[in-house]
Amino acid sequence: MPMTPHRTPRVRRALTGALLAGLALLTSAGPAAADDPSATASPAGAGDGPTEAGTTFRTATALEQGRTGTAQASTGDYLYWVFPADAGQRPTVEATVKLPESAARRGASTWQIDVYDGLRRRQACTYGHQTRKAAADAATVELSCVLRTVRSWSEPWANDPLPGSYYVRLTVVDLPASDLGLPVGVEVKAVSEDVGGGHDVDGSLSAPLVPGVLLSGASGDDATGSAASAAPRTPTAGGPEDGWASNWWTDRWLWTVGGGVLAALAAVFGYTLTRGRGRPAGAPHGV
């Protein structure tokens, strides 16, 4: 039965409403990730973190995201931690150094924090205070480093951050020679912000870049040389609570499905505008 003229406006109004609803769905699919220099993610877990730090990449202390790691060290030591970061996350590393009493120091000091990926490639900081100078009378110095968004896949020649372990190295890079060896206290914390599907790429690694890290206390052999004491433990930096790259859902799915729905509605709407108004009333029927 042909569509009568008085029904066409009703259909057009219904299709217009559906188009507006689809646009509202797309615009509310997910807020765009702002380039904020500080991460806004909540801590991944509660409780105390590790109370020591490694002195090399191989002895780096595992640190969960959201936990605060502490250590007592001497000025001039290289301190290492390692934490996991997955695709779609933008990690932020923060460190606070509690300096010795000003009466024991002879001058200012400069501290620096560096972050390396699982291939031990140094990753650039997009925001934060990676290097800071502490005055001779300063009590603490705070450093921070906001990395680029971790990608699920990258070209072999690129230096993009990839899923896996990330090593944090903290040390003093400039100070009077007489201040070497003074005791310091350190607090380190790593958190991440999920930036959403806008940074997703096609492709993924076959496995995250998670090398084993040797525990500093696992290499001591006893006098008998037993196999239990000689075998080093090699724990990894851990991983996300729901597994590596297990969160397959991103807001890109909403944009894809919503775009398909809008395209279909637009096609139907265009068809109703161009198909004509049908046979006039009273016109003879064809054979």
Question: What's 196's domain CATH number?
Answer: 2.60.120.380
So what's the pLDDT on residue 182?
94
55 burial (CB, 10 Å; 0-12 / 13-18 / 19+) is middle
Domain count, the chain: 2
- pLDDT higher than 50, residue 9: yes
- What percentage of the chain exceeds 90 in pLDDT? 43
C-alpha 81, offset from chain centre = 17
**In this structure, are 86 and 193 located in the same domain?**
yes
Asked if the model's pLDDT at residue 286 lies above 80, the reply is no
- Domain co-membership, 235 together with 104: yes
For residues 145 and 190, membership in a common domain is answered with: yes
CA distance 89 to 149: 6
- Positive or negative torsion for Cα 174, 182, 62, 219: positive
In this model, does residue 179 exceed pLDDT 60? yes
- Domain range for 188: 61-217+229-242
Residue 53 domain flag: no
Q: What is the structure's pLDDT at 255?
A: 66
Structure tokens at 225: 């040389």
Find which of 204-208, 218-222, 274-278 is predicted with most confidence, using mean pLDDT: 204-208
Note the residue count of the chain.
287
* Average pLDDT value for the chain: 76
- Report d(CA 26, CA 124) in Å as an integer: 34
52, part of any domain: no
If you average pLDDT over residues 232-236, what whole number do you get?
Answer: 45
Over 90: is that where the pLDDT of 19 sits?
no
* 3-class DSSP state of 95: strand
CA distances from residue 185 to 77, 164, 167 in whole angstroms, order as listed: 12, 28, 19
Higher-pLDDT residue of 65, 23? 65
SS3 (DSSP) at 155: coil
| Same domain? 238 vs 261 | no
